[in-house]
Structures are given as C-alpha cells and as structure tokens.
Structure 1
Amino acid sequence: MDTNEHQIEKLIQQGESLMLEFKSDLKCLPDRDLVATVVSLANTEGGNLLLGVEDDSTVTGLHANHLNVSGIPSLIANKTNPAISVRIERCELQGKFIARISVPKSRQLVSTSDGLLVRRRLKLDGTPESVPFYPHEFIQRQSSMGLVDPSAMVLEEVDASQFDPLQRLRIRNAIKKYGGEQSLQTLADDELDGALGLCREVDGIRRPTVAGLLLLGTENLLQQHLPAYEVAFQVLQGTDVKVNEFYRKPLLEAFEEVELLFKARVEEEEIQVGLFRVPVPNYDRRAFREAFVNALVHRDFSRLGAVHVKIASDGLSISNPGGFVEGVTLDNLLVADPRSRNPLLADVIKRIGLAERTGRGIDRIYEGMLRYGRPAPDYFMSNEFTVSVQMANAAADLDFLKMVVEQEDKLGNMPIDSLIILSRLREERRLTTADLTPSVQKPEANVRATLEKLVESGFLEPHGTGRGRTYTLSANMYQKAGKKSEYIRQAGFAPIQQEQMVLNYIDKHGSIKRADVMDLCHLSQDQAYKLLSRLKRSEKIVQIGDRKGAIYERKR
C-alpha cells in the first residue's frame, strides 16, 4: 500500500467532518449531487470528498461509470460558477477502487451552474450536513476572509446631521484620556469625522459609515439601522442574576458605562516588593479593557446577538457574535497577524487610544492573567459563531508576582513567551521544549532560545541534554516561595545518585529494564540509555538481550 492509500485510510478512520465527506457510488452518484457536494466544501473550508465510501465508513467502491476519474475535474469545472479546479486521484482499498477529490477553499462564493448555493455546517450530534447559503450570510463570509469591510459601508439613508454631538465630545475626551493621536484634537468636527472615516460624501451629502453610526449615532438610529448591535453586562451569584443591563447606546458611551460597572467589582490588595507597593486586583483592568474592546470591534454586525460581559463565581467571561476571522485559530491566536472583521472600526479605536496600537491586545490579556500567577485566559468555548474568553477568578500567586516584578525592575517588561513558560512550569513542574511549544505557539527553536534566556536569568534550571532536556523552576525560585523540599523532588538527583539507585534496584530485584530506569529516576528514554551506558562502560552492569527486550544485571 502506497503513502496516498495510507493517508486515505486514515481519513476514512476519522469519519465525516466539516472538511471530509463520504459519498456512496453504488448506484452511480448523480452529477448534480456530486457537484453540489463540491460546492458546499468550497464555500466552507474546502476539504476532501471520498467517492465510493458509505456514511458509516464502509468502502463499497466506484460505479463502473466513474472508474475513469480523469473526466470528473472537467465536469466539476463546467458545472460550477465560478469554475472550481479540483484534484482527483483513484486508489484501491480493500480490493475496491475509490476516488479522492480534493476541493480548495474558495475566496469567493461559488454555486452550481443551476444556481444552487450551499455550504456545510455541523449538526448538534457533530455530523456534517449541507445547507442553503442565504444572502444575509454572504457578508459574514466575505468579512471573515477580509474581502470586505462592513464597518466602512456607507448608510445612504442616514444624514450626518442626525449625529449626536455629545458623542463627538466623547471621542475627543477619549483621545486625551487614553493617549490617542493628539493631532486629531486640533481638527474641526467635520474634519475629525473625515479623518477617522466616520463619514463619506455621497452626491454632496455627508453620510455616515457603519463605524460612524456606531460612534456618533443616537440610540434610535442604532436600533433602526444596526439592529444586531447590543451590549450586555451581567453579574451572577450562583443561579441568581444580580445585575442584568443591556445597552444600545453609541459604542464609546456603552464602553464607559460597562467599564464603570466592572470597576465597581474590582477588589485590590497590595504587596510590598522592595521599596514599592504593588496592587494585586482580582481582575486586571487592562486585560478587561483589551478583551472588551476586542469583542466590540471584531464582532459580526450581520449576526444577531449581544456582546456579553459576565461576572460569575468562577470568573469573568466576555463573548461576541462571530467566530475568529480567516486565518486565526486557537492554535495561532498569539502569533497570527492582527486582522479585524471590521478594519475601519478597529483603526478608529486604535487612533482614539482605546485599543493596543500594535494590534497585539491579545498579549495584554494574557499578561493581565499570567503575571499574577493565574491561569492563562481560556478561549476554548469559542466556535464558528462566537468568540469567548474566560478569565478565571483564581487567587493570585504572590510569590510568582514578586518574581515577575523584580524581573521587570531589573530588565524591563517580561515577554509574554517567558510568562507562559514560567506559568506552565509553576503548574506542571518539569517540562521539555516540545511540551512548551504548543502553548507559546512559536517554532521549537524560538522556544528553546527563550528557555535558555530564562536559564541565564536564573529563573530556570535545565536537566539532561539533547531532546530529552527538561526544565524546572530554579532552586532560587523555590527558595523564595519557601518550597525548598519541592525543588529537590522536581530537580531530581545527581548522576551519581541515579547510578546508585539503579544498582540498588538490581541488587534487590536481580535485573532492571530501561523503562524501570526511566520511572525510577524520572528520566527520558534517551537519558536512561545514557545512564545505563555509563554503568556498562564502568563495568558495573552487563546487558543481556537486545533492543526492547534487553535487561541489565550486575557484572559477576
């Protein structure tokens, strides 16, 4: 069996998904059904269509009419608009031929030549289905792919004279308060609107953009022309709702009111670090601001639903309608290039000073949790319809915070990569570079370089060499936290102690395997091999057998 056949077998074992469809060909799948399936994949995430496989993953093979697969790409190209170019390969599995049709994700909407427009979605049971692609969903897809900017659309039925002048004053106050572009303060009102893209001139009349209406419109205008826009603030105590406020006010006014409600629930204590008093809030204000602004700015305004801020006993959660934009996933959230579903609105908010100008507000959110020794923000409740971040209501680790503050006093702000690494080692004690790479979301070489810097700074200690090299917090860090014995448990034993432990084991049990050494001394496979090799070279033990079956005994 060749590589492609192995790959296809693995696909079949995975079962159908959003990017994988099985189609029976026992009765010769009609062309219209074949083309419709390809269109639904292209209009979603692309993927593979396996022709000749049943829904239950049974391989039943191709119909005689489809054994010659060379004509299928031309058929699909001729019956799709715009034409889809697919790749096809035929392979033999379990004595039957099947076809793998690889469908690319389309950058524009695709229909069949008969005008059928469909997409894929997951049902409640997790299985996929094809459903109609409705007109109101077009803008969602195009904006998530960065093809259009909904916030820059001009509302030709609204006149800029209907704006609320108080909201423009809010913009000027925000620029002053948050350190926005000071040059905007010198502009007249019309010039300010134009410079920020809040208005466009259409046939000699100033008309607002969606961003302009969000910032300068009245509640009535927003409700009439942006019915999806809403902001909710809730405080829950168990199952009881203590606060339940909903706003349709202009964006800056809604932000300020929700921020006041949030600040009223921030509690602070102080700790002494050197000569300084350092505040320790239960929720970091900057992290909240960035997360809340992200939700307001990056939400999908074509999808009904409010931006929700909820405080409960387990923590703070902020969610907004609309999934991550194209190219952003849970696996690259920290390193993906900054992109917005609403670029104009995002630009306005940055220029006002309300959001991180570098576009790395996500770093602020992580920093606001990790520097206090709290768990990293959790985005795992996010899906294709919603982005949701949870900030746990966990007690701060004051020893960890002191360590971070002292580092910042000496060397400046600690990079987010370092905070992530220290946080994970604080929780999991001993990890390898490979263990840490998914959390940092950067190549292993970058993570290794960060680890070595932390070693040089005295925060970490390395153990072992090569790919089995592990890291723990340093003895100094454990000492500051008053956990000296815990350091000894995590750091392990000196090589001479490890050798003696192995010899004592053999004396008691007669022999030892490499797996026993790994478990006994908390070593990787490579490290255990090197330890046993040292003992063989010094003629203290002998090897009996080869490879996995090898055992080691005392030399007679």
Structure 2
Amino acid sequence: MTPGLPPAESLTVEFKSDRKRLPDNELVEAVACLANAEGGELWLGVEDDGTPTGLHPEHQNLNGLVGLVAARTAPSVTVQVDAPVVGGVRVARIVVPKRTEVSTSAGVYLRRRIKFDGTPECAPMLPHDRVSRASSMGALDVSAQAVEGATLADFDPLERERLRQAVQKHGGDRVLLELDDEAVDGALGFTVRQPDGSRVPTLTGLLVIGREASLRALVPTHEFAFQVLAEQAVRFNEFRNFPLIKAIDWLETNFLPYNPEEELQVGLFRVPVPKVDMGAFREAVANALIHRDYYRLGAVHVRLENDALVVSNPGGLVDGVTLANLLTTEPRPRNRVLADAMKRIGIVERSGRGVDKIYRGLLKFGRPAPDYARTDTTSVIVRLGTDAADLDFRRLVVEEERRSNGELPIDSLIALAALRELKRVSADELALRIQRDAASAKRTLEALTEAGLVEAHGTTRGRSYTLSASVYQRAGSKAAYTRQKGFSGIQTEQMVLNFVSQHGRIKRSEAMELCRLTDDQAFRLLRKLVEQGRLVAHGEKRGAYYTLPGAP
C-alpha cells in the first residue's frame, strides 16, 4: 500500500512540479540532494505548496526512471518508484536511499538542509561538507589524517609531560609510560609517516599535545567555552584553544568553585553529594571535545545555568546512533583514533560506554536522567539537571552497592529511578526507558525483586512493580507504600460495584483510575465481575461499559 502524500516538504520530502516536464538533470539533482542528507521521498507531479497536479505526458511511463537515476549519479543510486493516484491525478513517488556521498554524472554535489525559517532547500555540498558527512557516516576518520603544514615542532613538550601525568592520575595504559616520545606518537596515532620516511602530526596529535598557537593556526575549528549564567546574568564567559588534556583540566578547575557539595552520613561513612557529579561532568565534557565535528565551525560549550549543566558540541549524532538507542548501541566514534588515544590515556571510559557514566552520575542522586532532546543534525546537546538530590534515594543506592560489593547495573538504576518517579511500572514501560526489549526489562525488575528492593504485583501480562515496603520504610514513608501497593482483590471489586451503584455504569478507563490498575488488570477485573454475574457488559472495545444486573 502506497503511503499518502505528505502534508508539506521537509528534510526528507521534496515536491517537484511536472506540468512543464521536469528536466532530467533537475530530477537527478533532487535525488542526489536527498541521498546526501537522510534519504527520503521525491514526489514528482506535486507543486511546492503540496497540490498534486499530475505527471507530464512524457513521464506517464516511469519504467526507465530507475535506470536514468542510476546512470546519472555517481556512485549509482538505486531508487524505488511507484505511481499513486492522489487528488484524482497520477503522480510519482520516488524513494531515495541515504548514501555517504553522491554526485550527479555532471559532478554536481548537493545536500538537503533546513533553513533558518524551518523550510528545506538543496544547497551546494562544499568540500568540507563532504568530509564532515563521510566522517559522520564512518567512512573517514579525520582524526587519523595528517594536518597540512604541521611539523613535529608543533608538539609541546609540556603537553607530553601532561599526558604522562594523566596516564598515572586516571589509570591509563601504563605501557605508554615505558615508551619514548616517538613510540608514544606511533602507539596513539599522533603521527603518520610520509613516503620519504618523515613523520607528520595528525589531527589527533595536535589536539592532544599540540602547542596552543599551532592549534589556533592549523585547527581553527577547535575552540571551547565555559560559561556560568545566573538569573540571565553572565558570571563567567571565557573561550580557549588549549590542547585536550589541558582543556579538560582547565574546565574542571574553573567549574569546581560553582559545584558545591553536601555530605550524607551512611553508616560509618560520609558520602559526598555534589551539585553535579564530577564523573558525569568529565565524561560529558570529554565526549563533546572528542566526538565533535572538526570540519564544522563553532565552539564546544560548557554552560552552567540556573537549573542545569548544558554541554553542546558541533556535529550531530553519527550514523546509526539515535536518541532511541544511545544506551544500547555499540560505540561509533566520529574520530576513532582520537577516541582510542583518550581511552588509553585514561581520560574517558575505556569500554566506550561513557553515556552510561553520565546517566549513573545523575540517577544515583535521584536526579532526572540526562536530557538529549535538543540534539539535532548539526549538534549534540546534553542537559544535566542540577535538581536537589534525593538523599533517601542516594542512601538506598549506597547501601545496596555496599551489600552487593559492586555498582548497580545501569538498567537497575534506571528502573529504581522510574519507580521513584512513577510509583508503579510494568516491564513494557521500563523497556522504553532502558532502550531494550520487555524481556530484558522484566529480568531487571525481577532481579531487583529478589534483592528486596522491588515488589511484584499480579502475574503474566498484568504484572506490575513497586518499590518494596523496606525501601519505603527506610525513607520513612510507610503510608506511601500502602498507597502504591494498592488494594486487595476484594477491595477493588467492592470499589467498582460501589461506583456502578452510585453512577449507574463504569468504563474500563474509570476502573483504571479508581483502583490504580493497568489497562489489562482493569479488563480482567471487569471480566471476572461479569462472569460472576455481578456486572453486565454493554458495547464493544472503546465504547464498552458495565452496569449492575437488571439496570436499564
């Protein structure tokens, strides 16, 4: 079945009028334009305002269109074509796949983009755009390439020493400490050899141990800013071009005065409770500096606002990574050599699961999960909320991790945070939050049940979960536990019957709200009362309602 005509043009939808027969070169350019963005649909025979006006007589036979596009694009693009009737006229829907880089046979490179007013356009794809796209698609690692004009004199001996200190401080690969400078450069991808045997600095080398003046001259896109905003007033606002290890140290040093912490007594231990977890801060900042697009102008911004720390970097998520799989997808660094070097130095998470560390740094204090909602195709933006910590929740996490002698899995932390927020969840609801399937979510909830942190209610599809009585007791909230545990089966039955007696009828949605049940639980309760002859069902599906026997 052919999808309907979209309501308007967008990044992935292009309308082309065919009343005067669209020239072949314009059609092929439109295909290349879509392929060089996210792919999408080209609707031929539709005006810019979305009005279908039909195909030109010469385009009524679309059999040769697939071959035309393949022959006049490089590398060849294979499209799919169908001819639906829309608004009483026949149009063509051309489905275009996403490709790394496509030009027309005439050498024209175009890319689809959204203008400032929110409308789409096809714009020239400049050389730096092509490199940037290849990098985001995993087809090119710019961090491994030699930097034109750079020499070994652009490396700073002081930054080499800072690197060695960082390996010791952060628990990096200690083998690096035993190597001489040339061997370190080779091991970390700081240099590449030329045909004549000479060594030339790579982008990774300059970014990690380059002189500041050399970075400004040779890598003009490298810049970062630390800003502190308080009630719309700017308290701190400085831009720098330091090499990366020095940059992260500088950002931490300047951030610490704005990051007060309190202490929580847990047994014999004092546990610090900072405004922002420094592990999450370091990972978010390092990720922004390492994974940014170094072919795009714009600074990495680290901005402390009234209610959040916001970290942003130029360059959207790389191909294959979305907001729906951030927690579960395999690491796909845009700058692989740079990312590997920083892992070996110990600056970032060795496993490549830095997002987990950012989540953990917020959730373990009972704060909301990191918010990536403002991320788009041009930048990654993460917001780390600085809400007041939930000290009871933090105590619970510390006690459980000491009991089990290990960190709670990230899925378990997310589950406990969801239960704290929503009071009651199902496996399906948790699956969306941990970005896994319902079976994985159920295993997480059942493991927490065995640990005594969670209680399960119901069976099979209607099974739901709440925090356990012991958790509420530790927080001094016994009444809250009773409310969330719900009512007994007899109580819920009587509440439904009383409601029907008072109001004449009840719908499933009303039973859900009345007894705090899931949709499936309410359905089974009402069906049971019908089977017992205590209620009578009327209507079907959404229109169904229930009355007492003998009621009009």
Q: What TM-score, normalized to structure 1?
A: 0.94
* Paired residue type of 1:131: A
Q: Judging changes above 3 Å, is the alpha-carbon distance between structure 1 residues 98 and 286 closer, same or farther for their aligned structure 2 residues? A: same
1:463 aligned to which of 422, 434, 457? 457
Q: Aligned pair 1:380/2:385, yes or no?
A: no
How far does residue 329 in structure 1 lie from its aligned partner after superposition? 1.3
* Paired residue type of 2:376: N
Q: What TM-score, normalized to structure 2?
A: 0.95
Match of 1:143 in 2: 135
Match of 1:112 in 2: 104
How far does residue 459 in structure 1 lie from its aligned partner after superposition? 2.1
Match of 1:87 in 2: 80
* Paired residue type of 1:508: Q
Gap runs ≥5 in structure 1: none
> Which range moves more in the overlay, 529-538 or 208-217?
529-538
* Paired residue type of 1:110: V
> Which range moves more in the overlay, 217-226 or 483-492?
483-492
1:276 aligned to which of 257, 269, 293? 269
Q: What do the CA deviations read for 1:87-115 (whole angstroms, capped 9, x no partner)?
A: 112223343222221111113x2112222
Q: Judging changes above 3 Å, is the alpha-carbon distance between structure 1 residues 119 and 156 closer, same or farther for their aligned structure 2 residues? A: closer
Aligned 1:69-84 pairs, distance under 5 A: 69-84=62-77
Q: Judging changes above 3 Å, is the alpha-carbon distance between structure 1 residues 550 and 240 closer, same or farther for their aligned structure 2 residues? A: closer
Q: Judging changes above 3 Å, is the alpha-carbon distance between structure 1 residues 241 and 158 closer, same or farther for their aligned structure 2 residues? A: same
Q: Judging changes above 3 Å, is the alpha-carbon distance between structure 1 residues 58 and 492 closer, same or farther for their aligned structure 2 residues? A: farther
Q: Aligned pair 1:38/2:35, yes or no?
A: no
How far does residue 246 in structure 1 lie from its aligned partner after superposition? 1.8
Identity %: 50
> Which range moves more in the overlay, 153-162 or 251-260?
153-162
The number of residues matched between the two structures is 548
SS at match of 1:157: coil
Match of 2:21 in 1: 28
Partners in 1 of 2:539 and 2:233 — Cα distance?
A: 67
SS at match of 2:317: coil
Partners in 1 of 2:450 and 2:8 — Cα distance?
A: 48
* Paired residue type of 1:523: L
Q: What do the CA deviations read for 1:21-45 (whole angstroms, capped 9, x no partner)?
A: 2222233222122111101011111
Aligned 1:187-206 pairs, distance under 5 A: 187-202=179-194, 203-206=196-199
Query: Is the Cα–Cα contact under 8 Å of residues 41 and 120 in structure 1 kept in the other structure?
Result: yes
Partners in 2 of 1:125 and 1:116 — Cα distance?
A: 25
Match of 1:246 in 2: 239
Partners in 2 of 1:386 and 1:67 — Cα distance?
A: 42
Q: Judging changes above 3 Å, is the alpha-carbon distance between structure 1 residues 538 and 364 closer, same or farther for their aligned structure 2 residues? A: same
1:185 aligned to which of 173, 177, 180? 177
2:472 aligned to which of 453, 478, 503? 478
Query: Is the Cα–Cα contact under 8 Å of residues 535 and 546 in structure 2 kept in the other structure?
Result: no
Match of 1:213 in 2: 206
Match of 2:522 in 1: 528
Q: What do the CA deviations read for 1:180-236 (whole angstroms, capped 9, x no partner)?
A: 111111111222222222122322322111111122221221111111111211122
How far does residue 550 in structure 1 lie from its aligned partner after superposition? 4.5
Query: Is the Cα–Cα contact under 8 Å of residues 162 and 217 in structure 1 kept in the other structure?
Result: yes
Match of 1:427 in 2: 421
Match of 1:417 in 2: 411
SS at match of 1:17: coil
Q: Judging changes above 3 Å, is the alpha-carbon distance between structure 1 residues 67 and 503 closer, same or farther for their aligned structure 2 residues? A: same
How far does residue 549 in structure 1 lie from its aligned partner after superposition? 4.1
> Which range moves more in the overlay, 157-166 or 295-304?
157-166
* Paired residue type of 1:398: L
Gap runs ≥5 in structure 2: none
Partners in 1 of 2:7 and 2:233 — Cα distance?
A: 42
Partners in 2 of 1:379 and 1:546 — Cα distance?
A: 41
Match of 1:488 in 2: 482
Partners in 2 of 1:105 and 1:362 — Cα distance?
A: 27
Match of 1:67 in 2: 60
Q: What do the CA deviations read for 1:335-355 (whole angstroms, capped 9, x no partner)?
A: 121111111111111111111
Query: Is the Cα–Cα contact under 8 Å of residues 41 and 103 in structure 1 kept in the other structure?
Result: yes
2:548 aligned to which of 525, 530, 553? 553
* Paired residue type of 1:157: G
Partners in 2 of 1:252 and 1:428 — Cα distance?
A: 41
Partners in 1 of 2:439 and 2:7 — Cα distance?
A: 31
SS at match of 2:50: coil
Match of 2:437 in 1: 443
Match of 1:262 in 2: 255
Partners in 2 of 1:200 and 1:45 — Cα distance?
A: 34
